[in-house]
Amino acid sequence: LSTSHGDSSGDPWGDPCGDMSQGDPMVTLAALGVAQKKFGRLDLAVNCAGIGIAVKTYNSKKDKVHDLEDFQRVINVNLVGTFNVIRLSAQLMSHNKPDADGHRGLVVNTASVAAFEGQYCRNNSNIANATCLSS
């Protein structure tokens, strides 16, 4: 993310990771390409990024609705970004030679307990469901 040290953490490999928080497919593909270039193939992708905004859908005391742009940003980072990594990783992994069990790679998706309860259940349950559909 732009507030993390992601750009500098890629330096030991000779390539920056870039800011993947905006869901740009080209930035994601470039970051996955850094790993593929360094190790010769992509075997593992882990989705663990997520943001949340603690805001009521409607605040009657302030007569204020939840800002749609904030909600869209959360969905873009958490759901669209996760799907983007899944699809681009799967493409790169499809070129791997299968291992003894026939596997070409692994994508690990994380979601908080909020996938099943709490304010962010819609977003996290979509990640959990995408994981089931991708396997």
Phi and psi of 10, rounded to 5°? -80, -15
pLDDT digits (tens, 9 = 90+) for 29-85: 888 988 888 899 999 999 887 888 888 889 999 999 999 999 888 888 888 888 999
Number of domains in the chain: 1
Q: What pLDDT sits at residue 1?
A: 44
Rounded to whole angstroms, the Cα distance separating 24 from 32 reads: 13
Is the residue at 34 inside a domain? no
Does the predicted TM-score (pTM) go above 0.85? Answer: no
Give me the CATH number covering residue 116: 3.40.50.720
Q: What pLDDT sits at residue 112?
A: 76
Q: Are strands 64-65 and 106-109 parallel, antiparallel or unpaired?
A: unpaired
pLDDT digits (tens, 9 = 90+) for 76-98: 888 888 899 999 999 999 999 99
Phi and psi of 15, rounded to 5°? -135, 140
For residue 104, what are the domain limits? 41-134
**Whether the predicted pLDDT of 25 surpasses 70:** yes
